[in-house]
Chains A and B, each alone.
Chain A
Amino acid sequence: MWLLLLIFAITLGVRLFFAFNTPDFTGDSAYFNLRQIEHITEHGVPQFDDPLSYGGRYYIFPPMFHYILAFFNLFLPISIVCKVIPNIFASLLIFVAYLIAYKMTEKYTSANFTAAISGFIPIFMGFTINSISVYSLLIPLAFLTVYCFMKLPQKKYLYLFIALAFILPLIHASALLIASGLVIYLLFLKLEELNMKRIEIEAILFLLFVMLWVDFLIFKKAFLFNGPGIIWHNIPQQLLNIGAIKWFILDVMSKVGYIPLVYGIFSIYEHIFKVKNRNIYLLISFAFSTFCLILFKLISLELGLLFLGVIMTLLFSKGFLDYFEWLGKLKWPKIRPAFVIFFFISFLINSFVPSVAFARADVTETPSIDIIEALEWAKENTFEGSTILASIDNGHLISTIAKRKNVIDSNFLLVDETTKRLEDVEIIYTSKLETEAQRHLDEYNIGYIFLSQKEKEIFNIESIGYTSDSRCFKKVFEQNNVTIFRARCSLKVK
């Protein structure tokens, strides 16, 4: 227990060290979450009716994570809450990983080692350190559900399982991944001709219906508005394609961790073709379900890799055990320490080092001080109620820091024609014709254009061509790499 607490303290310490390296947060959606938490603290409810996003729209999202953080915000400052609490949640994965690994191997060493690795899964570190990410709570709870499922029919785990079945869809819509994984698990049992325990069928049926129902309750409006598009979160076609391009095996290996991934794949092979083990099948089912969902773009690549990373780490607990059993059988016991040292060094190189690298990268990806200063300037010096155009990656920043309307951000549900909107934004930034751009500026009632390094990189531009020589665009802010233009003309007949 003390060892586990020490691992937890180290993991949390490393996380907090990186998180407090910067006063800002990483990623546009962090600022969306920040705004929702602030709104709940002030008004008691999330801001579903948002006058700033997309120039005014209605949001749908499961709000439990925001409520939990808002609760802590009642007695702690928001910056501390958003830095510390998600990292505590994420570090709790260690305990869940320990429990699952112990259940599978019944060896403390293996369970402790798995717990240590789970604290340093590169992608999990990268996405949950400084992003106020809902995944920091979703992932530990999702795997706690898996653990409860393994422990059925013990009553206390049953009650926890029932509670989690209701809680998970209130945290994130992708909790349905758990249900789909469990359904695949049943198919696996059938294929392997293992008997299906009644309690397992009951639990799966229950979980499936609860999650479907809660998701339908929350996303009812989105189902009616976006129809089947909701399955892909109404993400514009262009962004769905980018997700596919990024799918490189080396990328996956570095994000998940080389050793867990390689051993995880080996373990899947071994248990499908040689050894039958229910608990391993359960994890393999989740891996398979996640893989399919990524393949069909039903969940984001990041979330899929987060799940895969944890699953592979858990499968690795068995590998750890096998490895040390193999060491015990070595003919030359003297070389055993060398293998042990080699094992730990390779873990350090392949899991710990990439995790630290991801954590560092995550922290450095916070919006630059130039962007923050420009947006704070915009808050003071632009017309209240005006719309500022920025790329999709800066959308939530516009509404959170500058408190102005944005044209597009990363929350696409209940938005009409997202693909067209994204195209139009690109046209405004890249067009050579002023009238063409002006038509779209009129369409979205845009008063200001925000141009930072991010927009330059996304649209591959150095400047906005038509603004240089035009009376219709006035440079109202310019500092380092950020420029804000005011659009002064309109094609509309007044």
Chain B
Amino acid sequence: MFFSKKIYYVSNRKLITLLLAFALLVLLIPLIINSFHDMNIITNNPSLYHIRIAEDILEGDFLGGTDELTYFKRPMYVSFFHYFLSGSIWFLGNTFTLIVFPILMGLFSIIALYLLLERLHVDKKILVLTISLLIASPVFVFTFSTLNAYAFIATFLLWGLYFYSRDELWGLITSLVLFVLVSFFSRFSIILLLAFLLSYSLITSKKQKWFLVVLFTLLLVGFKFVPQMFFEFDTIQETNALVDFVSDFGGVVGFSIFALVLGTIGLFTSWAQKRQKYPLYLLLIILIYMAIDVNKSFNIYLLFLASYLAAIGLLRILKIKWHFTILRDLTLIIILCGLLFSTVSYYDRLAQNDYSDEAAVLNWLSTNTPEDSSVLSHYQNGFLIQTLGKRKAVLDPLSAYNIGFDQTNDEMNQIFDSRNLRDTKALLKKYKIDYIFINEQMRRGSVWDEDDQGLLFLLQNNETFKKAHSVSGVNLYRVVIRPKI
């Protein structure tokens, strides 16, 4: 279809329907895999945090006071997203919000992007390729198959930009409302929004006055009300910029290496029109900088631009009048296989994030232990303990932002590594730890490598550590420290 002009005669409705069907298929695959393997529907750690905060809001804690389930008693990091989520849970229930909402956001964002690119008079071939590449990328799968704020920001942003591109007053007002909503998510989203708007205004050379109106409104409203901090993916674990960028290297929100190669070809191809496209390059530089230096979630927004450049690159390859059809066909097959390979291997990685066994143990914890119990585990299990176990976790992925974290982290590592019962008991007592939660991931490298290493050796002491509950390798120990007589 891309070799001929046929695509120009296909109606927009048909194309949108096809693209939506493709997106739906891509987004449903993780769910199908999960249901086949009898896995938990939540495969993403931050989703647990969002759900807990949304449920707290539903229970009446609207302003987000102190987070009682954290050791540091830090303030709750609540954003507009959580209010939105709690409303959805109240209206539609937990399952619908967890599963259907992100997918709906994905589909809405596809429609918005299609309409926006059309309004920008992007060639239809590039338009369809951009959206197809976007849908087939691991970043898209991550953003719209798990519950996260970025899906909402992206969708609102795209619709906002679409309405902004319209000439009617109602369109501009609608866009302003949507932009204000986006700005309520976080301060980063305001920077993102302004970068996109600036780029749009420079490309179209239109609505500079409206840009100023939006700018002042956002500065006025946004900076007054947005929360202090924005939620990140892996907050303690240090990551490498290259890993974050390339999904095949293990990046959670990374791009396929093939998409990056195509994007590079696209960048060189589009360089001939550098005078018209310089705002795009400016936006590209801003987003890459933000993704590397500030928050890797910017990769999600970078995806839209990267897909556009990759589409230009792919179209350039398609447009070459090949000497040999065999070479063309093989190259296209390899590109297709490479793109699919990255996404399929990403599915595989998502499927490894199952915590059904952990959920079973933590459900027991929530019903069979005192409410003020404190649980020690690896920080990555913190949200699990707080959301499913409804108990206090000594460390969680947000602990790194708390004062005194370094000392606590060191002492927790001492507990994990030490084989000295007296020292370990002293530290357990200091942090008032009542339970120790251990899963397979902790045993297989994230904390220990061998079965009798550090705390695992001490856990054999039945006097101090009593196994409270266990489900296929996930163990919960009760700490019994008798006071000195």
Residues in A219-255 with C-beta less than 8 Å from chain B? 220, 223-224, 227-228
A334 at the A/B interface (Cβ < 8 Å)? no
CB pair B334–A213 under 8 Å, yes or no, is yes
Nearest CB on B from A217, distance (A): 7
Q: Are B331 and A209 in touch, CB under 8 angstroms?
A: yes
Q: Which of B50-58, B199-207, B318-326, B402-410 contacts A (4 or more CB under 8 A)?
A: B318-326
- B179: Cβ under 8 A from any A Cβ: no
Selected from A202, A208, A210, A217, the residue in CB contact (under 8 A) with B320 is A202
- Nearest CB on B from A267, distance (A): 30
Residue B240 at the chain A interface, CB threshold 8 Å? yes
Do A227 and B249 have beta carbons less than 8 Å apart?
yes
Check if B324 sits within 8 Å of A205, measured CB to CB: no
* Cβ A209 vs Cβ B243 within 8 A: no
A212 to B317, CA, bound (A): 17
Say yes or no: B338 contacts A212, CB within 8 Å.
yes
DSSP majority for the A interface? Answer: helix
**Interface residues contributed by chain A, number (CB under 8 Å):** 25
Residue B341 lies at the interface, judged by CB distance under 8 Å to chain A: yes
The B305-363 residues at the A interface (CB cut-off 8 A) are 317, 320-324, 326-328, 330-331, 334-335, 337-338, 341, 345, 349
A198 touches B249 (CB 8 A): no
A167 shortest CB reach to chain B, Å: 14
Interface residues on B, range: 20 to 34
Residues of B with C-beta under 8 A to A202: 320, 322-324, 327-328, 331
Contact B258 A212 (CB under 8 A): yes
Shortest distance from the beta carbon of B401 to any chain A beta carbon, whole Å: 25
- Chain A min CB distance to B248 (Å): 5
Instruction: Report chain A residues within 8 Å CB of B328.
Output: 202
Residues of B within 8 A of A212 (CB): 257-258, 261, 338
- Taking a contact as CB atoms under 8 Å apart, the answer to whether B320 and A201 are in contact is yes
Q: Which residues of A contact B250 (CB under 8 A)?
A: 223-224, 227
Q: Shortest distance in angstroms between A298's beta carbon and chain B's nearest beta carbon?
A: 14
Give CA–CA (A153, B324) in the complex, Å: 9
Verify A227–B242 contact, CB threshold 8 A.
yes
Q: Is A493's beta carbon under 8 Å from chain B? A: yes
Whether the pair B334, A198 counts as a contact (CB closer than 8 A) is: no
- Residue A48 is within 8 A (CB to CB) of chain B in the complex: no
Contacts A201-B320, A212-B261, A228-B242: A220 and B327 contacting too (C-beta < 8 A)? Answer: no
- Identify which of A210, A228, A492 contacts B243 (C-beta below 8 A): A228
| CB proximity of A150 to chain B, nearest CB, Å | 15
> With A199-B323, A209-B338 in contact, is A228–B330 under 8 Å at CB?
no
A82 CA / B317 CA spacing, docked (Å): 44
Within 8 Å by CB of B321, from A153, A198, A208, lies A198
Q: Cβ of B483: which chain A residues have Cβ within 8 Å of it?
A: none
Q: Known: A205-B317, A208-B261, A228-B243. Contact between A198 and B323, CB under 8 A?
A: yes
Q: Contact between A206 and B330 (Cβ–Cβ < 8 Å)?
A: yes
Q: A213-B338, A217-B341, A223-B249 are in contact. Are A416 and B320 (CB under 8 A)?
A: no
The answer to whether B334 and A220 touch across the interface, beta carbons within 8 angstroms, is no
Contacts of B452 in A (CB 8 A): 492
Chain A, Cβ-Cβ closest to B457 = A493
Minimum CB–CB distance for B410 against chain A, Å: 19
Q: Does A203 contact B (CB under 8 A)?
A: yes
Interface residues of A in 100-130 (CB under 8 A from B): none
Most chain A CB within a 10 A radius of its CB, from B334, B337, B338: B334
Interface residues in B236-293 (C-beta closer than 8 Å to A): 240, 242-243, 248-250, 257-258, 261
Measured between beta carbons, the chain A residues less than 8 angstroms from B334 are 206, 209-210, 213
List A contacts of B258 (CB < 8 A): 209, 212-213
Interchain nearest-CB distance for A74 vs B (Å): 32
On whether the beta carbons of A216 and B338 are closer than 8 Å, the reply is: yes
Interface residue B469 (Cβ < 8 Å from any Cβ of A) = no
Residue in B closest to A159 when the chains form the complex, CB atoms:
B326
Given contacts A216-B248, A228-B242, contact A206 B320 (CB under 8 A): no
Tell me, yes or no, whether A14 is within 8 Å of chain B by CB: no
Give A153's nearest chain B residue, CB to CB. B323
Which B residues touch A303, using CB under 8 A? none
A228 and B335 CA atoms in complex are apart in Å by: 22
Chain A: minimal CB distance from B369 (Å): 31
* Chain A residue nearest to B241 in the complex (CB): A228
**Distance A224 CA – B445 CA, assembled complex (angstroms):** 15
Q: Looking across the interface, which residue of chain B has its beta carbon closest to that of A225?
A: B250
Q: Is A162 an interface residue (CB 8 A)?
A: yes
Contact indicator A220/B248 (Cβ below 8 Å) = yes
The answer for the CA separation of A216 and B337 in the assembled complex, in Å, is: 11
With beta carbons under 8 angstroms apart, the residue of A206, A210, A220, A492 that contacts B345 is: A220
A177-221 interface code vs B (CB 8 A; 1 in, 0 out)? 000000000000000000000110111011011101100110010
Cross-chain contact of B240 among A203, A208, A228 (Cβ < 8 A): A228
How many angstroms from the CA of A199 to the CA of B445 in the assembled complex? 50
Interface flag for A176 (CB, 8 Å):
no
Bound CA–CA A72/B334 (angstroms): 32
List, in ascending order, chain A residues with CB within 8 A of B419's CB. Answer: 493
A209 to B338, CA, bound (A): 8
Known: A206-B330, A220-B248, A227-B249. A198 touches B320 (CB 8 A): yes
CA distance A86 to B249 in the complex (A): 34
Q: How far is the CA of A217 from the CA of B334 in the complex (A)?
A: 12
- Flag whether A158 is at the interface (Cβ < 8 A): yes
Q: Which of A158, A198, A224 has the most CB of B within 10 A?
A: A224
Contact B326 A162 (CB under 8 A): yes
In the assembled complex, which residues on chain B have CB atoms less than 8 Å from the CB atom of A227?
240, 242-243, 249-250
Query: CA of A220 to CA of B344 in the docked complex: distance in angstroms?
Result: 12
* Chain B residues with CB below 8 A from A217, complex form: 341
Q: Judging by beta carbons under 8 Å apart, are B335 and A216 in contact? A: no
Complex-state Cα separation, A402 to B195, whole angstroms: 64
Docked-complex contact B261 and A158, CB < 8 angstroms: no
Chain B proximity of A300: nearest CB distance (Å): 21
The reply to whether A162 and B330 form a contact with Cβ atoms under 8 Å apart is: yes
Q: Which residue of B lies closest to A228 (CB)?
A: B242
CA–CA, A162 to B334, complex, Å?
Answer: 12
A209 to B313, CA, bound (A): 13
Contact status A228-B338, CB under 8 Å: no
Task: Check B331 against A206 for contact (C-beta < 8 Å).
Answer: yes
Residues of B contacting A206 in the complex (Cβ-Cβ under 8 angstroms): 327, 330-331, 334
A416 to B446, CA, bound (A): 12
With A198-B320, A201-B320, A206-B327 as given contacts, are A213 and B249 in contact (CB-CB < 8 Å)?
A: no
Are A209 and B324 in contact (CB-based, < 8 A)?
no
How far is A243 from B267 in the complex, measured between Cα atoms in Å?
36
**Which B residues, 109 to 157, have Cβ-Cβ distances below 8 Å to chain A?**
none
- Nearest Cβ in chain B — how far from A237, in angstroms? 16
Which residues of chain B are near A205, meaning CB under 8 Å?
317, 331
Q: Residues of A contacting B323 with CB < 8 Å?
A: 153, 198-199, 202
Interface contact A213-B320, CB-CB below 8 Å = no
- List residues of chain A with CB within 8 A of the CB of B338: 209, 212-213, 216
CB pair B335 A209 closer than 8 Å: yes
Q: In the complex, what residues of B have CB within 8 A of residue A199's CB? A: 323-324
Measured between beta carbons, the chain B residues less than 8 angstroms from A223 are 248-250
**A224 x B249 contact (CB < 8 A):** yes
The 13 listed contacts between A and B (C-beta, < 8 Å) are A153-B324, A158-B326, A162-B326, A198-B322, A198-B323, A201-B320, A206-B331, A212-B338, A220-B248, A220-B345, A224-B249, A227-B249, A493-B419
Interface residues of B (CB under 8 A from A): 240, 242-243, 248-250, 257-258, 261, 317, 320-324, 326-328, 330-331, 334-335, 337-338, 341, 345, 349, 419, 445, 452, 457
Query: Which 9 residue pairs spanning A and B have beta carbons closest together?
Result: A228-B242, A209-B334, A199-B323, A206-B331, A224-B250, A213-B338, A227-B243, A227-B249, A213-B334
| New A-B pairs, 15, CB < 8 Å, besides A202-B323, A209-B335, A213-B258 | A158-B327, A162-B326, A162-B327, A198-B320, A201-B320, A202-B320, A202-B324, A209-B331, A209-B334, A213-B341, A216-B248, A223-B248, A223-B249, A227-B242, A493-B457
